[in-house]
C-alpha cells in the first residue's frame, strides 16, 4: 500500500469506530479479515496509526473545541498528522490527494484547520491534567485515589501500547524451549518478570508466524492475567469453578496448573463465548474442563452445588480501566453497562459465587480495573456481610511467584510499576466450621 492508501484505511477504521457499537479491536480485526489482500506490514502500519489517534483522542478533541472545528474522525486524523506526526501542510496534502484508494483532497475546512494549528504543539498550557493524560471524567477521581502521587506517571504508562505476552502451556512444553523456538523463527522474546510461565515478545510479529499458538503450546495472555490465574492456587485433583470464564484464558491457565487432574467448570452467562472456548481447551490438550452456561449469576445450578468446590475464581465484569493500553477507545465509548450498573452486579456475582466454596476453600475475586470502588471497597463490603470468610494476604497466597518483597493485602498490578495491564485480586478463604 502507498502511504496515502494506509492513511485512507486508518480513516475508514476511525470512522467505523466512531459509528459502530463494537470495540475497536473487533472492528479492526473484522476490517482486515474482509481484506486479506492487505499485507502484514501494511496491517501493522494502519493499525499503529489508528490506535495512536485513539490514544490522543482527548487532546485532539480539545484542539477541535478550541479552534471551533467539528470533531470528526477526519479532523482528528489531520490534526494528529500535524501535531503528533509533525507533518507539514504539503506532506499532508500529498496524503489527502483524492486519488484511488486515497482520502478525499483537503477542502477549505481542512486547510483552515491546519492553518489554525500552525505553530502549535499537541500539549497546550490551558489543557487540564486529565486531558493531558487522557483520563475521562468518570474515572478521574477513582484513579487519583488509587495512584496518589503516581497518578500522572501511571496514566502516561497507560498511553503506551501494550506488549505481546504469551503463557507457556506446561503440559506441552517449557518456557526455555518455547523461547528457543520463537527465536528460531526470528521472533525475539524474553522471560516475563513475575510469571514463571510468561514470555514477553519484544517486537510485533504476525501471529500466523507463531506455530506454537496453533498447537496450543502457548497462549496469548497478559502477564497480569497469568498472575491472577496462579493466585487461585488450584492443585491437581481439586474441584474448581471459573465463574466468569468468558473466552477461557484463565480457565486454560488454571487447568494446566492442575496438570489435567481434577475438575474445573467454566461458567458464564454468555453461552457463545463458552462454546468458542472449547476449541481452545481441545487444542491445549486439556480434558478436565467442563463448560456450564448460566442464565444469571443466580442460576439454580449454583444453589444445587453449594459448598462443593475447593477454589472459585470470580473474574468480575468491570470498567476495564486496567486494559486501556490495549483498548484506548474504552476510555470514551460506553459499549456496556456503566459504573453505576457494574457495582451492584459485581456485588451480586461475588455473593452468589461464594456459595460454591466449601469450608477451607478459597474464593478469588479479580478485576482488570484500578478503581477502588470496584476492588477494595467490594471486598470490604463482602467481608462485612460474610463473616464466614477471611482475607488471606496476597503476600502469603502468592509468595511462590510474587517473591518475599511483595507485602500487600491485595494484588495490585499497574502498567508503570509492573509493566502489566492493571489488575486487582483478593484471596478469601471460607472459615472451617
CA distance 110 to 125: 24
- The string of DSSP codes covering 84-103 is TS---HHHHHHHS---TTSP
The helix-helix angle for 24-33 and 3-19 (nearest 10°) equals: 130
Q: Which three cell numbers stand for residue 402?
A: 510474587
Q: Strand, coil or helix: what is 413?
A: strand
Q: What is the grid cell recorded at 305?
A: 452445588
Parallel, antiparallel, or unpaired for β 309-315 and 239-242?
parallel
Q: How far apart are CA 128 and CA 44, in angstroms?
A: 32
Which residues does 26 contact at the CB level (< 8 Å), separation at least 6? none
Contact 391, 428 (CB under 8 A): yes
Catalytic residue among 135, 192, 267, 368, which? 368
DSSP 194: S
Q: CA–CA separation, 75 vs 112, rounded Å?
A: 11
Residues in the chain: 433
- 318 is annotated as an active-site residue: no
Tell me the angle at which helices 376-385 and 339-354 cross, rounded to the nearest 10 degrees.
Answer: 40
Catalytic residues: 368
Amino acid at each position: 500500500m502507498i502511504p496515502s492508501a494506509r492513511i485512507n484505511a486508518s480513516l475508514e477504521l476511525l470512522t467505523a469506530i466512531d459509528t459502530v457499537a463494537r470495540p475497536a479491536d473487533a472492528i479492526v480485526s473484522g476490517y482486515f479479515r474482509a481484506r486479506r489482500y492487505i499485507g502484514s506490514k501494511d496491517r501493522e502500519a494502519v493499525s499503529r496509526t489508528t490506535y495512536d489517534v485513539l490514544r490522543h483522542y482527548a487532546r485532539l478533541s480539545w484542539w477541535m473545541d478550541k479552534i471551533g472545528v467539528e470533531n470528526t474522525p477526519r479532523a482528528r486524523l489531520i490534526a494528529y498528522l500535524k501535531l503528533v506526526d509533525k507533518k507539514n501542510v504539503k506532506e499532508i496534502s500529498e496524503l489527502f490527494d483524492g486519488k484511488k484508494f486515497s482520502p478525499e483532497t483537503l477542502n477549505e475546512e481542512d486547510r483552515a484547520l491546519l492553518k489554525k494549528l500552525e505553530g502549535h504543539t499537541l500539549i497546550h498550557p490551558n489543557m487540564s491534567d486529565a486531558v493531558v493524560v487522557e483520563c475521562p471524567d468518570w474515572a478521574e477521581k477513582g484513579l487519583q485515589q488509587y495512584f496518589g502521587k503516581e497518578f500522572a506517571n501511571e496514566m502516561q504508562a497507560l498511553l503506551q501500547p501494550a506488549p505481546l505476552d504469551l503463557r507457556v502451556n506446561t503440559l506441552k512444553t517449557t518456557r526455555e524451549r518455547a523461547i528457543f523456538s520463537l527465536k528460531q523463527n526470528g521472533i525475539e522474546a524474553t522471560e516475563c518478570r513475575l510469571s514463571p510461565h510468561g514470555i514477553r515478545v519484544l517486537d510485533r510479529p504476525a501471529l500466523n508466524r507463531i506455530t506454537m499458538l496453533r498447537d496450543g503450546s502457548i497462549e496469548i495472555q497478559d502477564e497480569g492475567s497469568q498472575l491472577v490465574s496462579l493466585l487461585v492456587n488450584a492443585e491437581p485433583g481439586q474441584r474448581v469453578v471459573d465463574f466468569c470464564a468468558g473466552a477461557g484464558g484463565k480457565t486454560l491457565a488454571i487447568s494446566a496448573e492442575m496438570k489435567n487432574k481434577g475438575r474445573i467448570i467454566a461458567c458464564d452467562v454468555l453461552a457463545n463465548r463458552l462454546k468458542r472456548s472449547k476449541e481452545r481447551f481441545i487444542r491445549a490438550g486439556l480434558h478436565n474442563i467442563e463448560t456450564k452456561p448460566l442464565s444469571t449469576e443466580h442460576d439454580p445450578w449454583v444453589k444445587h452445588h453449594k459448598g462443593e468446590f475447593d477454589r472459585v475464581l470470580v473474574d468480575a465484569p468491570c470498567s476495564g480501566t486496567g486494559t486501556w493500553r490495549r483498548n484506548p477507545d474504552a476510555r470514551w465509548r460506553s459499549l456496556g453497562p456503566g459504573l453505576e450498573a457494574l457495582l451492584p452486579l459485581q456485588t451480586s456475582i461475588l455473593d452468589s459465587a461464594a456459595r460454591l466454596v466449601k469450608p477451607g476453600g478459597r474464593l478469588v475475586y479479580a478485576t482488570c480495573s484500578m478503581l477502588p470502588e470496584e476492588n477494595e471497597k467490594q471486598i470490604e463490603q463482602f467481608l462485612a456481610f460474610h463473616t464466614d470468610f477471611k482475607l488471606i494476604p496476597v503476600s502469603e497466597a502468592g509468595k511462590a511467584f510474587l517473591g518475599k518483597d511483595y507485602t500487600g493485602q491485595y494484588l495490585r498490578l499497574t502498567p508503570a510499576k509492573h509493566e502489566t495491564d492493571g489488575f486487582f485480586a483478593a484471596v478469601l478463604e471460607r472459615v472451617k466450621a
